[in-house]
Amino acid sequence: MMIAVHSRALGPAVGGVRMRHYADWRDGMEDALRLSEAMTYKCAAADLAFGGGKSVIALDRPLTPELRQAALEDLGDLIASLDGSYLTGPDVGTGPADMAVLRQRTPHVFCLPEEQGGTGSSSIPTAVGVLAALRAGARHVFGSESLDGRTVVISGMGSVGSLVAKELPGARVIVSDVDPARRDPAYEWVEPEEALRTPADVFVPAAVGGVFDPRTVPEVGAQLVVGPANNQLAADSVAELLVQRGITWIPDFVASAGGAVYTLAREIGHLSHDEAMRRVEAIGSTVDTVLTGEGNPLENALNLAKERLTRSALPAGEASR
Ligand SMILES: NC(=O)c1ccc[n+]([C@@H]2O[C@H](COP(=O)([O-])OP(=O)(O)OC[C@H]3O[C@@H](n4cnc5c(N)ncnc54)[C@H](O)[C@@H]3O)[C@@H](O)[C@H]2O)c1
């Protein structure tokens, strides 16, 4: 298991615990490093006083419940040893109940189940943030934030994707998932390998990262791309390929920030639900900024984040990385 702390320039590093199988533990380390960097930009672009981090528990075999508990307890001790420099929550493979296990070893844990005083799953605010980004993107691309009559393809009908689908009543919603059990008869269905190239107004990546690369960009069937999946581009240079194809892509670290914004506002800022949700809705204004800047959306979002990171850099002598 490992914890990556990418930046503490704006405050303590935050980032969830990813627990999944990797062919080699070094692949898990790569994931931790890449995802912790993305968390730095996510927090900075959302104007949060937090830095970027990530934990990975890299599995080489399925765990018994006892081993899983022991692994979480060890991670809790590791987080405790960082003394508040790194705060965690759930990510792929972990949930609020796991956070309760970590909390037995360290206070630096969020998203405990609601009955234990936490804010529970962050999927709802994440979906609210994606919808705010989607409406802002639609204003830029289609001249109106209404999605009535538009075709929206959602890839990944998990906790966030299924919530986004529900909030688009006037749109033609086409959904897709590698798990056939996620097929919801309320929506049209497309096989996962067809989702990206299905002709649509909007494509919502809500499953895995690495969706866009030089091979897949020519196949994209939508004009606007916005979704919660982390690290959607195989490389930063792919952002320009999307621009060249006339596709408006909203950077994932902007669109997916709702969960972090809400949880930190509630659990650290002690704001009310309504005030925290207002901050999530402000993702729409960030998207406006990112889509009206001089560069491509990724450059504009990174510039916004890096400008905040530079302005608030720690005094010399204090490690920020
Ligand atoms: N939940 C949050 O608060 C949150 C916050 C920020 C970012 N994200 C990111 O958003 C994405 C979705 O999050 P979630 O919580 O809904 O996850 P989830 O695990 O609940 O759902 C993901 C869904 O994608 C499906 N899937 C996996 N591979 C696929 C593929 N190749 N094609 C189509 N479907 C596929 C899975 O079967 C699953 O139904 C993830 O990448 C996650 O890291 C989530």
* pLDDT higher than threshold 50 for residue 50: yes
176 is in an annotated binding site: no
Lowest mean pLDDT segment, chosen from 14-23, 100-109, 297-306, 311-320: 311-320
Q: What three-state secondary structure class fits 54?
A: strand
Name which residue sits closest to atom 15 of ligand 1, judged by CA. Answer: 159
What's the chain's average pLDDT? 95
Domains 2-40+50-116 and 123-258+284-307 share a fold: yes
Number of residues that this document lists for the chain: 321
Task: Return the domain boundaries, the chain.
Answer: 2-40+50-116, 123-258+284-307
Round the CA-based radius of gyration of the chain to a whole number and report it: 19
Q: How far is the CA of 159 from the centre of ligand 1 (A)?
A: 7
- Tell which residue, 97, 91, 135, has the closest CA to residue 230: 91
For the segment 163-180, the average pLDDT, to the nearest whole number, is 97
Q: The domain at 123-258+284-307 falls in which architecture? A: 3-Layer(aba) Sandwich (3.40)
* pLDDT higher than threshold 50 for residue 184: yes
Cα–Cα distance measured from residue 182 to residue 202, given in angstroms and rounded to the nearest whole number: 20
Ligand 1 pocket test, candidate residues 178, 196, 252, 283, most atoms within 8 A of CB: 178
Write down the ipTM of this complex: 0.99
Ligand 1 pocket test, candidate residues 159, 226, 280, most atoms within 8 A of CB: 159
Count of C-beta atoms within a 10 Å radius of residue 28: 23
Strand 51-59 vs strand 2-7: parallel, antiparallel, or unpaired?
antiparallel
The 8 Å CB, 24+ separation contacts for 297-300 are 297/239, 297/243, 297/248, 297/249, 297/250, 297/251, 298/233, 298/236, 298/239, 298/249, 298/251, 299/239
Q: How far is the CA of 160 from the centre of ligand 1 (A)?
A: 7
End-to-end CA distance of the chain: 19
Q: Give pTM, 2 decimals.
A: 0.94
Q: Give the number of the atom of ligand 1 that is nearest the alpha carbon of residue 257.
A: 6
190 is in an annotated binding site: no
Q: How does residue 314 score in pLDDT terms, banded at 50, 70 and 90?
A: low
Q: How far is the CA of 114 from the centre of ligand 1 (A)?
A: 22
- Is-contact 224 291, C-beta < 8 A? no
The CATH code for residues 2-40+50-116 is 3.40.50.10860
Cα–Cα distance measured from residue 299 to residue 88, given in angstroms and rounded to the nearest whole number: 28
- Which residue has tokens 């792919």? 238
- Is-contact 225 248, C-beta < 8 A? yes
54 is catalytic: yes
Cα–Cα distance measured from residue 149 to residue 273, given in angstroms and rounded to the nearest whole number: 32
**pLDDT tens, 105-132?**
999 999 999 999 899 999 999 999 999 9
